[in-house]
Structure 1
Amino acid sequence: MNRKRALITGAASGIGKAAALRFASEGYDVCINDIQKEKLSLLLHELPPGNHLSLCGSYAEQETVKEGERIIRENWGSLDVLINCAGLFEKTNPITMEIGQWRNIFDCMINGCLLITQLAEKFMTNGGRIVHVSSIHGTRAERQASSYSMAKAAINQYCRSMALELADKNILVNAIAPGFVNTGMSVVDGQNELDSQWFKDNYVQGDHLPLRRAANPDEIAGVAFFLAGKDASYITGQVITVDGGLTITF
């Protein structure tokens, strides 16, 4: 029986790590990508046995993508799934920041989204699934987060566009838009916002988050696994919101 193969970015921690563990536990060979070399190495040893690969470097840099193309060609020759979880967040002040600093986050995620999709498409010869992890920031606004929010909004639209472009190859392209998730990205200025009084007042005690808690990374990874599976064979060009009900209320 041939094992399926998945390329997973941002795999050293958070949603990406949860996705790598989930896909590998379900019998996939995974190629894990991240800029954190030591964490990638540790994860590689956590995975169940398989023909797994490791690609260290930024998915937004052409050198990394070329290396990824080389190792996938030499070791696998084909690819079934791309789960793009890589991302970064920094506060940005669109009024006072230099354009280069403001664009850093936007360019990294958009360029990475484009380059890693181009890589995956080359190896998807018999259909395929591409899932980009976006955010509810793609349809919401937050102070000092305009660069991040605009990048996520662009990723949503990119997925819709690529769903159309790749439909003739039977490659399905979707996005997942999480709300609060208990990962390292929840730590802002040294404090985990999920432990803050602000979060407790608004989202645990208040009515702004119906489930009154953040998601665990595996809950997002589970949706990614569903979108990569046979039961999602008629879903493409969609942004699946996974936010505990946050965006349904005031």
Structure 2
Amino acid sequence: MANMRRFEGQVALVTGGATGVGYATASRLASEGAKVVITGRRADLGEAAARTLTEQGFAVEYTAGDVSDELSVSGIFTHVERSYGRLDILVNNAAAFQPIRFLGADRAAWRKVFDIIVDGTYFCTQAAAQLMIANRIQGRIINVSSINGARALEESSHYNAAKIAMDQLTRSTALELMDEGIRVNGVALGFIDTPMSVVDGVKEHETEWFQSIYAARGKIIQRRSGQPEEAAGVIAFLASEDASYICGAVLPVDGGLSVTF
């Protein structure tokens, strides 16, 4: 955990901030001085996460919201503006995944993933940029993507396609928002040990399949899955002035998985 205060006086919004990488990111940004708002659809998880972080002495609150719903997103940002008067950092982390075979996928399953990952990023980035510009804030937006945007994994056609769309949104919005003083970047995560890695009660990183292919054979160079805090550290870096000359990048955070066959 960093002992610096890089985000003193700044306000950050983390979508999907109640668990996994979102929670770790909220904790990291708050530990470095930011006032953090986490949002998500599950009020029970969001309120519990905010309470835990507040008890640790951090300035964190939860506000309910569904990033796939434009009206709900408007409510999230209205709350941020009324409560804090500014927004410095947006982390688009909200995501959804349920394995489906392509031939068996129905439109509802396909759209759910796109609505949250792609539409959610679009709605939140647009609203955040408008708030930043109105307050003359040189803001930072970080999109939490996946190496699935550049690689194909079976039973993940919807997720793979949504993440590459997110990567293109990162590049395109970086191009258009830099003139407004807003830097947009992303992280492409590999296998990170989060609740999303548990499918049907099975933790995929502990399966024989994962251990034999990704760990024992070294398909992941570091031979292990990553921890949410490791992803959060890179996100915090991109949100800081230490990354002042990084714009439109999607940095792999995958233990070396993306460079092997």
State the TM bucket, normalised to the shorter chain: over 0.9
TM-score, normalised on structure 1? 0.95
Partner of 1:202: 213
2:199 corresponds to 1:188: yes
Q: Deviations over 1:21-65 (max 9, x none)?
A: 111111100011111211211222222446543221211112321
Partner of 2:190: 179
Residue identity over aligned pairs, in percent, reads: 40
- 1:89 is aligned, of 83, 91, 97, to 97
Is contact 1:94–1:102 with CA below 8 Å preserved after alignment? no
1:85-234 equivalent positions in 2, closer than 5 A: 85-124=93-132, 125-234=136-245
The CA distance in 2 between the partners of 1:92 and 1:133, in whole Å, is 22
2:41 corresponds to 1:30: no
Is contact 2:12–2:87 with CA below 8 Å preserved after alignment? yes
2:24 corresponds to 1:12: no
Partner of 2:80: 72
The CA distance in 2 between the partners of 1:241 and 1:99, in whole Å, is 30
The CA distance in 2 between the partners of 1:17 and 1:212, in whole Å, is 24
Structure 2 residue identity aligned to 1:36 = R
Structure 1 residue identity aligned to 2:119 = N
The CA distance in 2 between the partners of 1:226 and 1:130, in whole Å, is 12
Q: Helix, strand or coil: the match of 1:7?
A: strand
The CA distance in 2 between the partners of 1:100 and 1:39, in whole Å, is 25
Is contact 2:65–2:76 with CA below 8 Å preserved after alignment? no
Is contact 2:25–2:235 with CA below 8 Å preserved after alignment? yes
Greater CA drift, 29-38 or 147-156: 29-38
Question: CA RMSD for the aligned pairs?
Answer: 1.5
Structure 1 residue identity aligned to 2:101 = N
